[in-house]
Structure 1
C-alpha cells in the first residue's frame, strides 16, 4: 500500500464498493484479522475482548483489546484492505473519531502484514489523497455520501 502520504495509498476497493458486473472485491480473511487481534492483545500485555464480524452495510470488522492496565481499545479491520484503525467506541460510521494507534498496535498489526494509518492520516481531508485508482462505483459513492476525511471513506457503513 505504498504511495501517497507517508507510505499509504488508496487502492481499488478502499470504500468497499464495486459495480455488480465487476468481479467482487478481495476480502481480507477474517481468520487473519482474528490472529492479528490475538497477537496484538498479547503485545499489549492484556487479552482479547470481543470480535464482531462485519455485516451489511459495514465494510469493517471490529474488535476490542483489553491492555495490561485494563484499558479498552476498539480496533477496526477493513474488510477489503489490510488496514487497521483505532477508535474510542463502536459506531455505525466514523468521521473524526480516529485515535492515534498505540505502539503495541502498530508493531503487532504491522508484523501481521496490516497497515496502521496514523490518526493524522485518517483525519486528513479526503481531497488530499490520490483517488485515481478507485473504481467508478467508489467515486460515485464518495460523491453521494460526501466523506470529508480519509477515515470516513475507508471505514463506512454506506448502503
Structure 2
C-alpha cells in the first residue's frame, strides 16, 4: 500500500493507492455502499476506471464494478413511471437531487464523486 485516503468532504469514497502485480493503481470503495472499483488516475473531477482481473476475489465481499458498468452513460430525462433516472440503478431522493444538480455523464461519476 502506497497511500490510504478516507472519505473527506467532498469525496464520497475510500481511495487506496497500491502497487500489486507490478501495476500501480487505486482501489476505490464507496463510503455508503459495498461498491468497489479500480482506477489508474484519481483526481478531483477525474477518475480513470480500469479492470484488474487478478483481484476478482473481492467479489465475495463487494460488488466489483467493471469499466463497462462504470462508464455506462447516465440517462436523465423525465418519465412518469421511472422518474428522472432511466438507468437500472436505485437512488434515494437525496441522491437523485444530487444527480439533477451535478449532471454526471456516467454511472461511475454517481458512485465515486467529489460532490458537496
> Shorter-chain-normalised TM-score: which range?
0.7 to 0.9
Looking at structure 2, the residues matched to 141 and 54 of structure 1 have their Cα atoms a distance apart, in angstroms, of 17
How far has the Cα of 1:104 moved from its partner? Answer: 2.1
Alpha-carbon RMSD: 1.6
1:98 and 2:98 matched: no
Aligned mate of 2:59, from 99, 110, 122? 110
Q: TM-score, normalised by structure 2?
A: 0.81
Count of aligned positions: 106
Given that residues 15 and 28 in structure 2 are in contact (C-alpha distance below 8 angstroms), is that contact kept between their aligned partners in structure 1?
Answer: yes
4+ long deviations beyond 6 Å:
none
More helix, by proportion: 1
Match of 1:15 in 2: none
Q: Is the 8 A contact 1:94 1:151 kept in 2?
A: no
1:120 equivalent in structure 2? 68
Alignment counterpart, residue 66 of structure 1, candidates 19, 39, 42: 19
Shift of residue 105 of structure 1?
1.8
TM-score between the two structures when normalised by the length of structure 1: 0.61
Q: Equivalences for 1:7-156 in 2 at 5 Å?
A: 48-69=1-22, 71-94=23-46, 97-100=48-51, 102-107=52-57, 109-111=58-60, 113-127=61-75, 129-131=87-89, 133-156=90-113
Work out the CA distance in 2 between the residues paired with 1:94 and 1:50: 18
Structure 1 unaligned blocks of 5 or more: 1-47
The separation in 2 between residues aligned to 1:150 and 1:104, in whole angstroms, is: 23
